[in-house]
Structures are given as structure tokens and as C-alpha cells.
A and B are shown apart, each in its own frame.
Chain A
Amino acid sequence: MFQYLVKQAAASVLVLLVVVTITFFLIGLAPGGLGLLADPNMDPEVRANIQRNLGLDQPLYMQYLNWMSNILQGDLGRSFTFNRPVLDMILERLSATLLLGAAALLITVVVGFSAGVIAARFPNSLLDQVLSFISFVLLATPGFWLGILLIIVFAVLLGWLPAAGMQTVGKSFDIADRLSYLVMPAIVLAAGTTAELMRYTRSSWLEIMNLDYIRTARSKGLAERVVHNKHVLRNALIPILTIFGLFLPRLIGGAAVTETLFAWPGMGSMAVAAAVARDTPLVLGITIFISTAVILSNLLIDVLYSIIDPRIRY
């Protein structure tokens, strides 16, 4: 296992290198340029000064080599737009991203998994059909639309929840206040993954239920509860974990739309703003963080496989 993890870690570094290199050249070669320089009224000398100060007057490969040599020394550079260390900016946003991601993950696991099991326990029943219908609706609903709908209902019409942001300005830290801001973005972010997890859990569960060893367990006279909890659950978890591994990076890095809509100050909205402004160091810093999250979550899932199914050995 240890050997496997070391090997995977080495491969991960290579993957990271490839990802950031591709990202760097994609940004550099894409048409358009730094947002700050897009003003046609900007004086040519001012433009040239800014380009020189940011190192943009050098050829792209030189910019890459400079950036890479800084990275190897642990320096993610400074944002072109904000002139602040990229690492500081990412760390500022990380807690908001993790909070939203964790809340969405919690909703996904609790609601999606439970609904999937319930649907599988009563296949083709009215309850199963209702749950299936809801999951299809959630899968087909775009996040931005669901978000606006929730804001109009719960913030504008009912006035129960704040429309956007992360905290009430001027108020000291208060859990209830934070939760009130968290509810809607977490629901929107979790909507799709919850529906997906429900579908996967249901089908995985039903598949296991039809296998011979479940029939054997039942014929031994085991209680239905024991059959499900002891024999079905563990075996059904393997495919569910695979899907779960795909959700993790999506919840951490893929929340751009939700964060933008709810003005949630996480990395997703910062990534969008950085990409629009062509803030290369910031985009690359975020890419490194999100790629690392993807790699780590895949490693975590691999480890969990071997815990759940002792037959799996690395």
C-alpha cells in the first residue's frame, strides 16, 4: 500500500506539471490579453510600462520558465490584477470554498444516498417513482436557474434568507447568520450531485440485491435489515465510491456558477474573474490547488476501496 501511494504521489507531480504547463500556454496563446490593458484609451507608454512591470514584454517561453523557477521555490507569484501574493489570495478564499463544498457534500451524501437506498428498497413503488422523478428534475435543472428561483422565493418573496453574500456586514461571527447565507448556495451546488448519487445508489443497490449471495443470506433466514446493512451496503458502496471520487473535485473547484450567483467569496468565482481578466498567475495558482484536490481525492478513494473491500490490494 505504502509503495503504491509513493508511486501515485510521484505520478501526481507529473500530472500537475502537465496540467499547469498546458494551462499556462492556453492562457498565453489565447486571443485577447490582460484585462487591465483592454482600455483602448490607455496611453501606449503606460501600456508598455505595465507590460514591462509584469514581465509580459518577454517571449511566452521565458515567462513560463520564470514562473516555473518561482514555483519550484514555492512562490506562486503575484496576481497581475491585484498585485498581491497568489497564495494569500487563494488561502483567503479556501475556507469559503471548503465550507460550501463540505455543506454540499453533506447534503449529497445524506439526501442522495438515503433517497437511493429508499428507492431501491421499494423498487417500482410510488415512492420510488416520485424519488426518481425528483432526481430527473434536479438533474435537468441548470444551477443558475434553480439559484435565481430560490433567491426570488426565499429572499425576495418570503424574506427568510439573505439573497447573496457570506455574512451580514457589521455583525460579529454568528453561526446562525453564516448558516442563513450558506443554505441556498449549498442546496444549488448539491442539487445535481444529490440526484446523481441517488440514481447510482439505487441501481448499485438493486444490482447487489439480485446476486446469489443475497439470495443465500435470505434463505438462511436472516432478517431483511441484516441482509441490507451487512451484505448489500458494503458491496454497493464500491461503485458509489467511484462516483463520489468524481464529486469531490467538482464540489471544490466546480462551484464557479453557484459562487458567482450567490456572491459567495470562494475560489470558483475568483477563478472566473481571474480567467476573464487574464490574470495568469492567479489562474495557474487556482489550477494547482484544484488539480491537487482532484489527485488527492482520487488517492483517498483508492485507499477507501481497500478498506471497504479487503480483496482489493495494491
Chain B
Amino acid sequence: MRKQLAVLVSLALSLGGLAQAQQAEQPQRGGTVQIALQTTPGSLNPVLPAELASNIINWTMFSPLTVVNPYTNQLEPYLAERWETNANLTEWTFYIRRNAFWHDGRPVTSEDVKFTFDKIRDPEEGANNLPDFRRVREIRTIGPYAVRIFLTQPDAFLDDRLSLGGSEILPRHIFSQFRRLRDATEYNSRTPIGSGPFKMKRAVPGQFFELEANPQFFLGRPYLDGLVFRVVPDGNTRVTQVLAGQLDWIEMEPTQIRAVQGNPRVKTTNFDTLRYQIFAWNLKNPLFQDLRVREAMVHAIDRRRLLQTVTPGFGYVDDAFVPKAVTWIPRPNIQFREFNPQRARQLMAEAGWRPNAQGILEKDGKPFEFKILVDRGNTQREQIGLILQQFFQDIGMKVTYDVAERGGRWIQETQQGTFETRLAEFLMPNIDWMQRLFSSVGQNNSQFYNNPRVDNLLAQMRSTPNRAQHANFMRQIQEELYATFPNIPLYFMERILATNARLQGFPAANIKDAMPFIHRVWLRSN
């Protein structure tokens, strides 16, 4: 008994010591972190259209006015220290931090903000975020550190939209000598000047980009001395480079996790990508306009098994439309619709679809027949398409698996609305996306979902600046979506970070979203 007591006391003491040590662990300065890019960045100008590699590197060098904090998934001030709006949400005033400087030492001012947003609004520039600025009537500087944006109609989401990337502020003093943003070839490919936590030291396109800490960064000097972005196109090579200590931070496929497990140098972290795979109907098609048919198709799919087969197991199934990681939005009052083929058949029968002699569902002599459009090259969706085909056939539907080039027929059919059903990936990084996807006039509402109740809730949400009310509206909208089946959320996607075990303070988020907060990341000394 005495011995057991002694063991307990010593355990308590050692645990206490450990907790104290952890509390005492302060971020350390110094070190360089190496991060992989899958491709050579196409443009080091964040306003021009670019791919993921460009976005990752640009988010360390440029500053948007607002940002979604990847640790909390909440909107926060960034280059703007605060902002306000008038009562009817048609005038937004952003106040720029007075301690923000360009990497060449000049101060960031409201003139830079106006210049950047005017460039984005100019259709000739070909900026990616042009649609986000369609409601902007005018941009006016109010002194050197404030800028006012006048809108043609109320918009509660402007601050959200500015955080999404593509609206980072550019230095007017550099670009004023060029007619178009794209004419600044050297700046756009090798010598960018931003106001973010890191600045370009040496760019060797095709090989690496070496960045150094910006001591004047407005949120404080980064802990790290440097960042190196290495272009490593092959996924397996990236994993071996982490194992060999040549890379410190990569995103991995679930199938690669076994290669790094058990290695003391490497730490793995799962994260919610805020993305989900969906099966979308073309809701203009009469075949899918009966709610009972759509509900039947939900019950026809064993989504838990699908997730296990395709990912395998990295992710979760849910009938909500906002990822779990976005915790500031309350969970809707819904219940997951389980796999239930009997219920599916029953619902189809109630909708008038009965099996013919060959077992195919038929109504008025017409079979229940459709195509699933899948984009070639996405291995997950190619697999999902085949699995769904089987599930739907099992309840008597006649389904064709239709795979097409993403940049060709897939995108044409998506945009022209000529597809019957399709597989796609939805992203819910902030509340603005809710209206993009589900408003009857939403710019990304490719499934032609039209629900006046959802439109009404979105309109109410758009007309209030109150975050708590936004959260409540988001819950109500999800409940309405749940009841009306705009699409089937197949599964929410998780991915894995493999990092140097000494890397500390990074958020469990994809690398791109972590970059605006790279100044908080640090390396523990050995």
C-alpha cells in the first residue's frame, strides 16, 4: 500500500513537472522551415488568377484587409485594424494599420487599397475577384489610413469576401509605372514586394523560393528566420523528403500515412479541409424535382462505406452543410439520413416509380435513367462515380457513368447547365459561400437550386452586420437545405499534415490557409 502511494505521489509530481515544463515552453526564435509546392507558382501577384502553389506563397508575402483565422475559423482583422459599416450596409470603412509597411520600407496607405480594388474592378485586368466587386460603386480614400467602399446595394459579407484571397493589397508606387498588372513581369515572377510576414530573398523559378522574415510585419516579427518553398511535383518524393529532413511541412494523401508512421522525426496531424464531396442534381431536370425522389437517392447510398472505401476513413459523413470545424456556427437540428435501400424503394414507389420486368424503375413507360458526370483525373471522384452507379442501380435506376475532361466538357456542361447529375467538391470557408452556392442567383449555384425560403433567410442575413445573428441564420438555412435536398453531401474531407516534429504552433488546416498566420509558427531547438 505504501509502495503504491509512493508510486502515485511520484507520478503526480512528474505529471506536474511535465505540465509546468509545457507551460514554460515559450516560442523560440530562429530556424528556416521548408515547405513543398506541387508546381512552380504561376504568378507572385495575388490579384492575378493563379493556382494553389501561387496562393500558398503569396499569402506569406501579401496582406488582405481581413482574414479567416485558421486556428478558430473566425474572421479577423489583418491589414485593416478595424472596420465599420453604415446602418444599411452600403458603405464600408476600413482603417489601415499605421504600422504596416511594404517590404521596401514605404508605408501601406489607403491609396494602395484604393489602387488595388480599382484594378480588380477593371475587367481589362482579368483579376480573379472581379465578381466580388460588382456591387462596388466607388472607392474613396478618407485620409491616408482609411478607405471607404460605396456599394450599390446592402451587403453584409464584404468583409468576409475580402478574406478569401485574390484581394490582397498591392503597392501602388510599384505598379503605377505599368499600364496593366500583368506587365510587371519581373515583379510577378521573381521580385514581389508585399506587406506580409515574409519577404522574397531569392526566387529560382522551377526550383525554390527563399523568403526571409519581415522584421517590420505589423503583427510582429515572425518567430522563424526564413521560409523555403521547394517545387516538388511528385507526392511520393515529398514524403521521402520529409523523412530525409529536406522538407518540414507537407500535405499527404491518406494512403501515404503508413510511410511516416513511427518515425520520431515526423508528426502527423489530421485536419478538416472545410471541403466536401457532393452528388449534385440538375434541379431544372423534371426527373429530380420530386423531393421524394431526391430523398430516396440519399437513402440509396451507404455513405459510411463509401468514405471507408474511397479515403479510407479520413473524413466524416454528415447531412449538415457547414463543416464541423466552423464551430462558431451552431449545429443545425438534423439527423443523419442513414443507408436504407428499403426506404429508398418505398419513396420511389410513392413518387410513382415502379420496377418493370427488368427491374428498372419506370413511370408512364419511361425508365428512371440518368448520367453521372465525373471529372477525369480526380481519383476520388472517379471511384465515387462508379460506387454511386452501383448504389443507384441496386434500387432500380439506370445509371451511366460519364467521365469527361475537367477543363473541357465537364466545365462546359457545368456552366451551361446541360449535365443531369454530377460530382463536385464544395468549399465552405466562410459564410459568403453559403449564398454563392445556395442562393437562387448565387454565382456558384450550378445545380440551379431555387428555394424562396433560403433566399429570404440569405437576404435577411445579408442585411445584418451582427455575427451572432449570422450564426443563427446559418443554422436555419442549413435546416431548410436539409429538408429540401439541394445536393447530397457525400462526405466531408480530411487530410493529413506531415511535419517536422520540431515544428510548433501551426494550425490544423491546409497549408495555404495557415500562411497568413505563419508568423506564429516556430521551430523547437533539438
Contacts and interface: CB of A to CB of B under 8 A. Distances in A.
Interface in B192-215: 204-208, 210
A92 B206 contact: yes
B246 A163 contact: yes
A148 B240 contact: yes
A239 to B, nearest CB: 36
Contact of A83 (B43, B228, B232): B43
A169 B240 contact: no
A293 interface: no
Contact of B407 (A32, A49, A155): A32
Contacts of B243: 156
A81 B42 contact: yes
A84 to B, nearest CB: 6
A170 B240 contact: no
A155 B237 CA distance: 11
Contacts of A265: 204, 206-207, 231
A169 B446 contact: no
A278 B51 CA distance: 14
Interface string A33-56: 111111011111110011001000
B51 A263 contact: no
A94 B392 CA distance: 53
B233 A35 contact: no
A270 interface: yes
Contacts of B236: 148, 261
B40 interface: yes
B233 A263 contact: yes
A46 B126 contact: yes
A76 to B, nearest CB: 15
Interface string B299-339: 00000000000000000000000000000000000000000
Contacts of A163: 237, 240-241, 244, 246
Interface residues of B, number: 57
A260 interface: yes
A84 B44 CA distance: 12
A256 B185 CA distance: 27
Given A44-B415, A45-B131, A273 B233 contact: yes
Given A46-B128, A260-B234, A159 B244 contact: yes
A204 interface: no
Contact of A165 (B123, B207, B409): B207
B262 interface: no
Contacts of B267: none
Contacts of B50: 36
Contact of A36 (B40, B51, B206): B51
B81 interface: no
A83 B188 contact: yes
Contacts of A148: 236-237, 240
Interface in A150-182: 151-152, 155-156, 159, 162-167, 169-170
Contact of A155 (B40, B42, B240): B240
Given A31-B409, A41-B444, A263-B231, A49 B126 contact: yes
Contacts of B49: 36, 42, 46, 50
B40 A273 contact: yes
B127 A46 contact: yes
Interface in A250-269: 260-263, 265, 269
A151 B244 CA distance: 9
B207 A167 contact: yes
Interface string B234-257: 101100110110100000000000
A121 interface: no
Nearest to B229: A169
Nearest to B433: A41
B39 A165 contact: no
Contacts of B409: 31
Given A32-B406, A92-B206, 16 more contacts: A36-B51, A40-B415, A40-B444, A43-B443, A44-B415, A46-B49, A92-B205, A148-B236, A155-B244, A159-B244, A163-B237, A163-B246, A165-B207, A169-B208, A170-B32, A269-B206
B407 A38 contact: yes
A228 B32 CA distance: 58
Interface string B396-411: 0000000011111111
Interface of A: 31-38, 40-46, 49-50, 53, 81-84, 89, 92-93, 148, 151-152, 155-156, 159, 162-167, 169-170, 260-263, 265, 269-270, 272-273, 278
Contact of A166 (B40, B127, B207, B233): B207
A38 B208 contact: no
Given A35-B407, A49-B124, A164-B246, A151 B130 contact: no
A131 B443 CA distance: 65
Contacts of A159: 244
B216 interface: no
B210 A170 contact: yes
Contacts of B127: 46
B51 A35 contact: yes
A33 B97 CA distance: 42
A189 to B, nearest CB: 15
Contacts of B226: 170
B505 to A, nearest CB: 22
A156 B130 contact: no
Contact of A169 (B206, B230, B408): B230
A83 B74 CA distance: 35
B424 interface: yes
B246 A165 contact: yes
Contacts of B443: 41, 43
B73 to A, nearest CB: 20
B440 interface: no
27 contacts: A37-B407, A40-B410, A40-B414, A40-B424, A41-B443, A44-B415, A46-B128, A53-B126, A53-B182, A83-B48, A83-B185, A83-B188, A83-B189, A93-B206, A148-B240, A155-B240, A155-B244, A156-B243, A163-B244, A164-B232, A165-B246, A166-B207, A169-B228, A170-B32, A260-B233, A263-B230, A263-B233
Contacts of B32: 170
Contact of A261 (B204, B237, B414): B237
A151 B206 CA distance: 21
B244 A32 contact: no
